[in-house]
Structure formats: C-alpha cells, structure tokens
Structure 1
C-alpha cells in the first residue's frame, strides 16, 4: 500500500520586502507584538509546522538616503520568538540570524534558550553576508570576502552543534574546545541539551555553493521556483547531494516560499492577483527596481513609458543593503525583450518580470496545485508569504487547509510537540 505524501506548511511574517501591500487599510504594524501574535496564532490554528521571521540588520538606502518606500524598523527575531513561545503551544519558531556578524557561543546560547522555553520548537535560518554596507554596523564590518561567507557559515553551524552536544543527554556538562580557521573557543556551555536535541537548521540559497551547504548542513531549505519543472530540478539536485554526506532524502525538507491569492472563481482570483501585484509595484517601486539593474538615476523616466535604451553601469551602487543583481546587462536584455514582445511599459515590465511564484485560483484549484507540487517531487511543502500584515494568512487557513486535509495531503492534528516531530526529522544523534 502506498503511503500518502503529506506536505509541510510554514508562515513567513511580511516585513522588509516588496511583497507587502502597505497601502491596504487592513495592513497593520510590523513592529507591534499584536501583529506577530495574530499571524502566529493563525498559523498554529492551521496546524502549520513553523512561523518564520526574516532579518534586517541595517535600514536600506537608495541614492545615499534611507529608502522611504521601505518599512523602518524590525525587532530582533529571537526576542520576538521568545515572546511568541508564551502564546503558542505547538508552532515551530524560526529566526533568521546572520552567521557573518555573530559568534557561535552567544548565538548557540540564545537559540538553546528559545528551544528550552518553547519546549523544543526553535529553528535557525542561517544566512550569510559579504556586504560591507551592512557590516559597518558591526565591529568587523566588511572584513569577510564573499568567497569565505559559506566557509565561515559552515564552521559556525558545526561549532554551534558542538556546543549543543557538549552536554550529555543525561544532563552532564562537559568542556568543549573548537579550533578552526574562523573560531578558536573553549570552555563550558551554559545550557543542557534542549528538548529536540538541537534546534532545526534552515538555509536559503540557490547557488551551487548554497545547494552544497544545504545538503551538508541544513534540515530545511527555503527556496523559490516559479514552475513545477524548475522545482523538480532543484529538488532532485539537492536531494541527490545528500548521500555524499551520509544523509537520506528524508533528512532534508525543501520548502519554497510562495504567495497565494484566492477567489470564488478563477477569474475573480486572477483579478485580485493583478490588483495586488499592481499595488505592490507602485510607480516609485518600478523605477527603484529598474535603477537596481541599470545602476543610474532614472527618476526622469516615466514609469508608464518605455524602458531605457542605455546599457546598465558595470558597477551599480545606487542601492545599499540589497542583494546585488548578478548580471545586470543580461537582466536588462531579458526585460527589454519582454517589453518589446508584449508592448509593456516600465511598470508593467517590472510587474511581469519580478513576480513571485504564486498559486492563484479558487480554494479547490489551489489545494490541488499545492498537492501536485508535493506528489510530483517538486517540494516537501511551502512557506507562505502573505501580502498583508497580519491577517494575510487567515483566508488560506479557513478555506484551503480544510481542503488539503480532505485530500489527505495535510495533517488534521499535531501528533508531536517539537518542531522536529512536525517535520518528520530524526533527533540528532549525540556526538559527545
């Protein structure tokens, strides 16, 4: 008898990105605890695996000024999750914390504290940075070459795991010592082994080095692929790397970030999706997106007019605190071709070219499409990125989750208490 594949679901709290529609009157604060609590409680009501917070270490700038179309301020993730641990019971709590601008002992202690306070529900989304602009906020700003960021991150995770393993499962503290290229520390860790052995490790990154890092280190991969075929290619590639590290396909869950727009009919859903995308890409945001690629001031251009006929500058530097576009000229050529083929303006081109992977339709069709991605080997589940703070998850939980449950594609109750149990991950073997 074939065992039914069940998907995993997580919720991403909207924040510093172009997904959130801040002009919607239902949009609330991204700082008030009530917003975090509402979305987390909704995710737990929907039996989601975990609640996911991103990170912003410096206010982003554009043309030398703080970008006034961005949200200003983001609370520290682990602090927020410690508070959410008190108002949730089963929901996993995932914090994005940078491995470039932190130290293993301090971060391992904070994550272990969250795991103890929550009863085994903590997760760490490992990110890296070689951005000197962000690094200026830290003592060693800009010290790390881009080529070294994954090397430091890999050693950071390994060192944190050594710290978490320095207590025996029976509660006996043992000294630790780590000597490596990036860290040379020794002493005694301040907390016993946590309820799920170690916090869950999440990783995001689509480059070859990112995929290898995930295969070697991560429990969950946060990715994004716009089509079923692209998802299957990524899924097969990353899962195929696991054996090199003595791991099985079940040891790593691949969960792309997705948006969902629902309607009573397919036409209604498409209309809502178009309106949301139109509001996400304002005229100002359209020019900002273009300036990130071209690297020059385009404020004189009409967002409803044609794309620039000039080529991008080789070293774009207008935007600070954002991921650099890898090949601006190639992106510009693709966007021009799209604009010519469909007769699109600047704003229309940005809307079409930069849209996130989305599931748009009736609750029934969305449930079926999500299920297909999992059963076809394109994902183990999804991290939902709503466009409203904090109520953007409500409709999905009320209208889609019951349909997934009817299909046997999603749980009808939590059967464990830890995040590892929700994800079906084995408890790490103690290596003390």
Structure 2
C-alpha cells in the first residue's frame, strides 16, 4: 500500500528588519501603514494559508558606531498589529515573535490569551531569547543574563506562562447576558510559581481562551534549541535549504520527541523560503539573479563582510576581491545587536573558507555574500515551484514552508494565484479551511486533550 500524501503547511512572513525586502522597488509599500498588513494578511487567508508570521526587533541595529541604515526598520509593535489583524481576518493564524529574556510571563501570557480570545483561537507565539547585552540596554535589567542561561530562562518562562493559561478551566466562568461574566469557582485563575527565574503568585485575570494556550513556535538551531522544541514547541523553524540537510534536521528533531512522550506529528518542521516565479524556469532564474542583486547592494555586501572581519571595510571595492587582511578577533565587535555575530564563531576559519570559495569561483565580495547568504529559495515556473515544494514535504525534509516574499505587501499575490491552485490539484493543500482555530489548521490537539493523552500513555 502506498504511503498517503502529507498535507503541506504554508505560512506567510511579513518581512521585518532584514535584507530580504527590496524596499527600493517602486512596488514596495509601507511597513508601518496598517493597509499593508491588511492586504498581506487577506491575501494569505484567501490562499488558505495556516498563519501569518511577524518577527520582532527590540532595538535599532548599529554598526561601526552608527545606525545600520541599509534595511527596513520601524515596524509597529507585534501585539498591536496582530490584534488589529484579528478584526479583518476570519481564519488565518496570527503568530508573533515575543522575547523571553526581557519580558515577564504574566504580561506575555495575558497578551496572548487576550489575542486568542479576540481572534477566536488563532494566536501563536514564537518564543525567542536575546543573547546580547546591547539589546538589554533598553530594559530595566540590561544585559544581566549570561548567554548560557538563555534557554533555562526561556524554558521556565514558557512553563510559567502555561501555568497561567492553565489556571482557568472551561467551566469556571458563566456568561450571562444581563450580568456579564462571573466566576463559578472562587479559585479560578489562582497560581503560585517558585523557580530559579520567577517567584510569582496571584490571580490570572484572563479566562481560558479557545485554544487553551497559543500555539508555540521555536527558532533555535543549537542542540539546546532543538531539545527545547522537542519538549515544548508545536513547530520549529528550520534554516536548512538543501534537501539532504533538511532531511537530516527533520530526522534529528523528530527523533527527540519520544523521550518527552510525544508523537512524530506533534511537532512541525517549517523552514523559511523565498520564491521567484517566471513563465519559464530560465526566466525565473534570471529574475532571481536580479532580485538578489537588489537585495545585496555593494554597501550591504561590505557591511555583511564586516560582521566576520570585525573591521571597517568601507574603503574596499564590493566588486573586487576579498580583503587579504585577517579578521580582528578581539572581544569588542563592530556590529552591535546583530544575529550574524553568533553565526561565525571562528572568524579566521570562516575567512579562510570564503577566500577559497571566492578564488575557486572568481567571486567578488558582493558575489560571495550573495552566494553564501542564500536561504531556501523556490525559483521556476509555478509548476516547478509547486512540484519542488511537494517533493520536500513528501520526502520528510519539512512539513511545509513559511514564505518570505521580497516585495510587500503585494509580493504574495502571484504565489497565491498561481502556485496554490497547483498544490490543491495535487491533493496536498486544502481548498477550504476545515476548522476555525490555528490548532485545527496545523493538526494539533487542544492542550487539554494532549495532556490527557500523555497521562493515559
């Protein structure tokens, strides 16, 4: 008997602070005006996507002592945007990145429970940590948290938030049209938590929401991050672009679930992916090349190289060879608050490898940054892209993809109109929503049902 086809999960990422967005394109819209978010979200819902995803930035980025001015900044607060979108969408999930290092469990739990109520059960939380004291300078406690304790706090933060969500049960509140809502159980919302990072007690004042808890996403790729996802997350983002790399990540993370009493299908693997469509595969490749040149200007390429070299490289020609001088490996880094600082743990080894690549392919600085900075990208005709996405999912390299268009808010339209119908024809993507909550879309059990299942096993 042949293996049944897996259903593909698709989501849409409204790009934030990054170099994916080609903001110089005349078709690019505002990242602040609400109309941009509305168009993007309603396109995703029209295409029957699972959810919309917003990243978050807690501080303007700096490099060489100046504000980094080569990509888009200024997007409004995540909770504000998602709550507003709840009013102009009906089924689309609403996922926000909220930091566990500098926030507090009670506040975040209250915000997510409220969003889940306002949206009718469509809230999701991408749990992230901040590793640098630079971002911490914006907050009361500054950079107090050692890097090694980030996941310890994150795990306890999520566990504490779950205790708050679970402090209510469905039968503890009575809705009365005349009197409003009142408690049936005097202990509803009561909580006590004592731990390494949090010592709180009181009453949680938001009743149990439709999903019980928001869907939980996690983005870490370290061993700690993978373990955190296997224990507590409903989905994990993947950065692996190749089929074999994707399969290896998929197998590794899914294999960790059993030790936490979880099934293979209780954690979804969802890489981010860009896309470029054309009438022919050749035309699409040519368009993709143009897009990458727009995304990585000469100035952007030099700034990116400075992440590794830790030196001012503004005097170098971005269309010329890589610097012969070695990176500065001192503790003081030229780029403050940049995620890329973590990606290059051995700058000297990275520089050697990049020089070898550049020499072998006759790449300039800009060529190198373009070629080494690629994320998963689907390039081709709509049929080619649909077939490739399906191949990845059916081959267990992912459970779906979070699509990141290079133009917002209209960049998702072509995918929705041309690729989604082909996936539907293949029988691997829904033609209508079958449920009302994000858990329904993702095939995830309600927390109460999942808890009962674990207890029974």
Scaled by the length of structure 2, the TM-score of the pair is 0.93
Aligned to 2:175: none
Q: Deviations over 1:266-288 (max 9, x none)?
A: 10000000000001000100100
Q: Deviations over 1:222-280 (max 9, x none)?
A: 12111000000000000000001111111101100001111100100000000000010
Aligned to 1:320: 336
1:69 Cα shift?
A: 1.1
| Aligned equivalents of 1:72, 1:273: Cα separation in 2 | 24
Say if 2:194 is the partner of 1:209. no
Q: Deviations over 1:25-48 (max 9, x none)?
A: 001111111111111001000100
Q: Which runs of 5+ in 2 are unaligned?
A: 173-184, 453-457
| Aligned equivalents of 2:35, 2:235: Cα separation in 1 | 28
Aligned to 2:385: 366
Q: Deviations over 1:177-234 (max 9, x none)?
A: 0000000010111111110111000000111111011101100111211100000000
1:380 Cα shift?
A: 0.5
| Aligned equivalents of 1:429, 1:6: Cα separation in 2 | 25
Aligned to 2:63: 62
List structure 1 segments (4+ residues) > 4 angstroms apart after TM superposition: none
Aligned to 1:375: 394
Aligned to 1:16: 17
Aligned to 2:275: 260
Q: Secondary structure at the match of 1:95?
A: strand
> Which residues in structure 2 correspond to 1:2-401 (within 5 Å)?
2-171=3-172, 172=185, 173-315=188-330, 317-323=333-339, 324=341, 325-401=344-420
Q: Deviations over 1:293-329 (max 9, x none)?
A: 1000111101111000111111361111212132222
CA contact (8 A) 1:69 1:285 kept: yes
| Aligned equivalents of 2:360, 2:131: Cα separation in 1 | 37
1:14 Cα shift?
A: 1.1
| Aligned equivalents of 2:338, 2:238: Cα separation in 1 | 18
CA contact (8 A) 2:21 2:72 kept: no
Q: Secondary structure at the match of 1:259?
A: strand
1:130 Cα shift?
A: 2.0
| Aligned equivalents of 1:217, 1:116: Cα separation in 2 | 22
Q: Which runs of 5+ in 1 are unaligned?
A: none
CA contact (8 A) 2:164 2:189 kept: no
| Aligned equivalents of 2:144, 2:395: Cα separation in 1 | 43
Q: Deviations over 1:40-93 (max 9, x none)?
A: 001000100000000010000111111121323121101100000000000000
Alpha carbon RMSD of aligned pairs, Å?
Answer: 1.2
1:174 Cα shift?
A: 4.0
Say if 2:434 is the partner of 1:418. no
Question: CA, structure 1 residues 139+174, in 2 after alignment: closer, same or farther (shift >3 Å)?
Answer: closer
| Aligned equivalents of 2:231, 2:300: Cα separation in 1 | 38
| Aligned equivalents of 1:322, 1:245: Cα separation in 2 | 33
| Aligned equivalents of 1:426, 1:186: Cα separation in 2 | 29
| Aligned equivalents of 1:254, 1:349: Cα separation in 2 | 29
| Aligned equivalents of 1:422, 1:201: Cα separation in 2 | 14
| Aligned equivalents of 1:321, 1:71: Cα separation in 2 | 16
CA contact (8 A) 2:284 2:381 kept: yes
Q: Secondary structure at the match of 1:429?
A: helix
Q: Deviations over 1:357-398 (max 9, x none)?
A: 101111001100100111001101100011011111111000
CA contact (8 A) 2:266 2:444 kept: yes
CA contact (8 A) 1:60 1:70 kept: no
Q: Secondary structure at the match of 2:448?
A: coil
1:169 Cα shift?
A: 2.1
